[in-house]
Amino acid sequence: MNSPNPKDALLAVLVVSLAVTALEPGAVNALPGFSDHTGPSEMRVTSLERLDAGCRDSVANYARGSVSGGTYTRVTFIETDDPDADLSAWVERTSPPGADLSTFRVYVESHASEASEVASATTDDCETGVQYRIEATTSGGSPAGVLPDAHGVRVRWFENGEEAGCSGSYTSSLRGGCGQFREDERPDRTWANATTKL
């Protein structure tokens, strides 16, 4: 009896692999050289720092945003009515796990005491608030393979419930731009969240 030809055996394995790939969604990513490169699966607030507080004209002398190595940084001013208000921040993931485009919302909220609220109501000299710096860092997701695959991340920033900005990066034909959600104001779905207080 003749032993199987190694080339025939390899061809048979290849045919079976391709057949399974055709029948099973996502199975192509298990083949060598293929990858389901996704956006990050998690984001958390890693730093929330008060830089200054007082009248907007005095303390809000600059604002900036940057991203480096998966860490998104913003320096900006939040109106609080009370310069001594506490700040808290939390992250909400609005894309399902394994999505090519990972979307997040970062919320910054101010919390004033009742005494501070009464005091601030009697002074209308200026628009008061807090200049702050926040860092939010992404993690997780599937890494890149030999073959390129569409992936990206978009972060929407909110202050006291109001939209305050958008950051993002993406590849290929993903609709990942910050202008996309303005065309479709349907609410994002919440998949996960985390909170940090200052």
Read off the pLDDT of residues 142-175 as tens digits, 9 standing for 90 and up: 766 666 667 788 999 999 999 999 988 877 666 7
Number of other CB atoms surrounding residue 8 within 10 Å: 9
What pLDDT does 40 receive? 86
Q: Structural domain tally of the chain?
A: 2
Tell me: do 27 and 58 sit in the same domain. Answer: no
Tell me: do 182 and 138 sit in the same domain. Answer: yes
Tell me: do 75 and 138 sit in the same domain. Answer: yes
10/103: higher pLDDT: 103
Residue 66's contacts (CB-CB under 8 Å, 6 or more residues apart) are 72, 73
- Domain range for residue 25? 1-31
Strand partners, 64: 75
* CA atoms of 177 and 162, how far apart (whole Å): 19
Tell me: do 146 and 188 sit in the same domain. Answer: yes
Are the beta carbons of 134 and 47 closer than 8 angstroms? yes
Are the beta carbons of 45 and 108 closer than 8 angstroms? no
Residue 4 in this model has a pLDDT that exceeds 80: no
* CA atoms of 23 and 156, how far apart (whole Å): 37
Tell me: do 17 and 79 sit in the same domain. Answer: no
Tell me: do 118 and 192 sit in the same domain. Answer: yes
Residue 93 in this model has a pLDDT that exceeds 90: yes
Enclosing H/E stretch for 117:
helix 114-121
106-150: pLDDT as tens digits: 999 999 866 555 555 545 678 899 999 999 999 987 766 666 667
32-89: pLDDT as tens digits: 555 566 778 899 999 999 999 999 888 888 888 888 888 999 999 999 988 899 999 9
Tell me: do 132 and 111 sit in the same domain. Answer: yes
96/8: higher pLDDT: 96
Tell me: do 49 and 128 sit in the same domain. Answer: yes
